[in-house]
Amino acid sequence: MPELAELLTRHTGRSRTVLEYAATTGRLVTDAKAPGFTEDDWAPLADLVDTENFLRVGAFKEEMDWAGYVAFLTGWATTSEWECTFKRITEHGDLVFLELEERSVVGDFRSVVNSLSVYAFSGDGRIRRLDLYLQMALPS
């Protein structure tokens, strides 16, 4: 994900943390295809997260704590291809809003969605909550 990696040089604070999170996710999704990839391999992502208080709310309002999210990520990353294009990042108080175009392939299923992820931060600067919103085209 060179585009996000390049953006890291232009951002600081919470916005940089969110961009590091997205870039690390992209790298780990690629790494997940190697034999022996496990939930422990998400440790670089966990370094950015308040794992004790983390809550992820997905597109279908499903809620996951950190352990549940790591299990979900592992199942998804080992079977999927994923890439994204950066659109916009906005920081306001303890929130960061990240807009991406995300492209994924899972088996024969391909999708392109616009995503808005809202990252809420704890007092120590780690991600404590992630809310995901998606836009996608209707099937033709």
What does the domain layout of the chain look like in residue ranges? 2-136
Is 5's pLDDT higher than 70? Answer: no
pLDDT band at 55 (very low <50, low <70, confident <90, very high): very high
| Cα 126 to Cα 33, 51, 54, 92, distances in angstroms | 28, 9, 9, 15
Contact by Cβ (8 Å): 80, 29: yes
- Tell me the whole-structure pTM to 2 decimals: 0.91
Per-residue pLDDT at 2: 47
Across the range 70-94, mean pLDDT stands at 94
Amino acid at 27: R
Give the architecture (CATH level 2) of 2-136: Roll (3.10)
Contact by Cβ (8 Å): 78, 37: yes
Per-residue pLDDT at 140: 72
